Amino acid sequence: MDSLAGRDRIAQLTNTTMPGVNGGPDVRAYVAMPEGEGPFPTMIMIHEFYALNEAITSKADLLAQEGYVVVAPDTFRG
């Protein structure tokens, strides 16, 4: 997938890195946060077959506007 869209595509779509567990690879993710003080309900958003993309991050942003913390990990790498 990265060979078609450029290697830095995922870096442009993500804003955090979660360290790997037990020597596993780190996982890049997009995290959308609502404004204000929490606590907030949290969702994990899993992308479809085409990997993490702007459509997924946009949906995460919309849910954040409704008061959810949304974590969208890139499950193809890591």
The three-class DSSP label of residue 9 is helix
Q: What is the pLDDT of residues 30-57, one digit of tens each?
A: 999 999 998 999 999 999 887 899 999 9
Whether 7 shows a pLDDT value over 60: the answer reads no
Q: Is omega for the bond preceding 39 within 30 degrees of 0, making it cis?
A: yes
0.75 surpassed by pTM: yes
What does the pLDDT average to over 12-20?
Answer: 89
The answer to whether residues 26 and 14 touch, using CB atoms and an 8 Å cutoff, is no
